[in-house]
A = this chain, B = another copy of it.
Amino acid sequence: MSGNTFGKLFTVTTFGESHGLALGAIIDGCPPGIELSEEDLQLDLDRRKPGTSRYTTQRKEADQVKILSGVFEGKTTGTPIGLLIENTDQRSKDYGKIKDQFRPAHADYTYMQKYGIRDYRGGGRSSARETAMRVAAGAVAKKVLANLWGIKIRGYLSQLGPIKAELLDWNEVEQNPFFCPDKSKVPEMEAYMQALNKEGNSVGAKITVVAENMIPGLGEPVFDRIDADLAHALMGINAVKGVEIGAGFACVAQKGTEHRDEITPEGFKSNQAGGVLGGISTGQDLIASLALKPTSSLRIPGQSVDIEGNPVEVITTGRHDPCVGIRATPIAEAMMALVILDHALRNRGQNGHVQSGVPIIPGSIPGQIGS
């Protein structure tokens, strides 16, 4: 299968360039009989939408999604769901000057080497604009997961440049433009972003996503473990350079006694594993984090070459996010939802008749580290 299709049973295929006519997606394999409307998708699209705060790109896109098929009388029919968002604010003249240059740390050079041709308008297919369709598709997956199994997926910004944020309050996440779960850190973040804007620089970020009310048994070892597929999904988001499950890289310096999540009849005593053992979900919260690099579209000049290999100095003046990580929370949630739903269907396909007879251990005991 080609690279623009995601998933195996619940699949999402997308198209669309930053400054093309439209973005679109086809969702295939959606369970039938689920109530679904354009509003369900719009909610998450609006959370991702550019131009909503002064800390994100000022491109104005309505990001109005249309459902073209697969839903009848308000319910999914099991046939493919066609989605479409027309591009409205293309302003392609902004980008003309980079036609013959390779912006450092952008995909310009690699697309050209791969395909011998590229749509240079606004990054073309490599633009983060493409993620709108992931968010729309992810919203469908979230709806199905909630409806069939009660699974809930949420995310938050766990670090903005040097500023870390703890998951203190889920309710706070939607109350500030950073998806920051710690209200006390918001002013610090605002000040940091203003200084960054003045400097003309950008910064990285870390996002954490969590699936609650998970069911055990999801994941297809030895290769399509649920954590491996999550890593594929999250590393495949623009600008992501690292993915962790549960304790993540902290496990390198941990001892076995520290990392192993002991089990009691009342629940797991901790969740260092992030809800996965042997590539299969335990039923605890599924927890993943991702690192997003600082965008490379800067007003500060950088060295590069043009399409003939001559040295040039590149300055980016368009509308860009100084921290692409800020808007990444809904995208990461969407990708997690796609992975979990795909695995839920794959698991039902192979094991739908299974009754293990083994009591299900409740999630983590509240208050435990890593829970």
Q: Whose C-beta in chain B lies nearest to the C-beta of A125?
A: B79
A104 and B270 alpha carbons, distance in the complex (Å): 11
Produce 1/0 per residue, A215-236, CB < 8 A to B. 0111111111101111111111
Chain copies in the assembled complex: 4
Which residues from B are CB-within-8-Å of A309?
265, 358-359, 361
For chain A, give the interface size range. Answer: 35 or more
Complex CA gap A280/B24 in Å reads 22
Cβ-neighbour of A248 out of B66, B241, B349 (below 8 A): B241
User: Which residues in B have their C-beta under 8 angstroms from that of A277?
Assistant: 105-107, 109-110
Q: Are A241 and B232 in contact (CB under 8 A)?
A: no
Quick one: given A161-B252, A202-B256, are A9 and B216 in contact (CB under 8 Å)? no
Q: Chain B residues near A162 (CB, 8 Å)?
A: 253
Q: How far is the CB of A254 from chain B (nearest CB, A)?
A: 5
Contact yes or no, B6 A294, CB < 8 A: no
Q: Do the beta carbons of A4 and B223 come within 8 Å of each other? A: yes
Q: Decide: A5 near B223, CB < 8 A? Known: A113-B360, A351-B32.
A: yes
> How far, in angstroms, from A362 to B10 measured CA to CA in the complex?
31
Residue in B closest to A357 when the chains form the complex, CB atoms: B116
How far apart are the CA atoms of A24 and B137 in the complex, in Å? 16
Q: A22 at interface (Cβ–Cβ under 8 A)? A: yes
A227's contact among B17, B80, B235, B297, by CB below 8 Å, is which? B235
Closest to A203 in B: B255
A17 contact set on B, CB distance < 8 A: 69-70, 72, 79
Residues of B within 8 A of A233 (CB): 223, 228
Interface digits, A166-203 against B, CB 8 Å rule (1 contact, 0 not)?
A: 00000000000000000000000000000010000111
- Name the one of B240, B276, B349 contacting A348, with C-beta atoms under 8 angstroms: B349
Task: Check A286 for interface membership: any CB of B closer than 8 A.
Answer: no
Closest 3 interchain pairs by CB? A107-B278, A3-B220, A349-B349
